[in-house]
């Protein structure tokens, strides 16, 4: 009888462990799907909201660079330097705003999860 109880207890523990592993795998799978879905939606929203101003500013800065790169003077070098710095700042802001939008979308989606 104790032999049978030990076997049943071992089987129970094995089944319990398998169930816990399955449950953890399902939770990780759902979390991975949620993260990829929210990242995709966040990136789409960020693209829609930010790409037009981003491209407009970069194109305008390229025109400024082309205009002042024709002649090398102190004033033109200053304009070119500011144009390069502004384009770097705009790129940095685009990346940061995109991250913020993805985080906000993830928060909103987690409320309705």
| Mean per-residue pLDDT pooled into runs of 10, the chain (113 residues) | 75 87 94 93 92 91 87 88 92 94 92 80
DSSP result, 17-47 = HHHHHHHHHHHHHHHHHHHHHHHHHHHHHHH
Three-point CA angle 103, 109, 110, nearest 5°: 90
pTM value surpassing 0.85: no
Rg (alpha carbons) of the chain, rounded to whole number: 28
Q: What is the pLDDT of residue 93?
A: 94
């Amino acid at each position: 009888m104790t032999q049978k109880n030990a076997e049943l207890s071992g089987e129970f523990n094995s089944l319990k462990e398998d169930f816990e592993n399955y449950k953890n795998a399902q939770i990780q799978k759902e979390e991975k799907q949620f993260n990829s879905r929210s990242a995709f939606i966040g990136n789409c929203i960020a693209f829609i909201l930010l790409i037009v101003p981003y491209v407009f500013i970069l194109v305008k800065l390229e025109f400024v660079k082309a205009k002042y790169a024709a002649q090398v003077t102190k004033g033109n070098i200053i304009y070119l330097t500011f144009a390069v710095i502004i384009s770097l700042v705009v790129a940095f802001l685009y990346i940061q705003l995109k991250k913020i939008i993805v985080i906000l979308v993830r928060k909103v989606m987690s409320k309705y999860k």
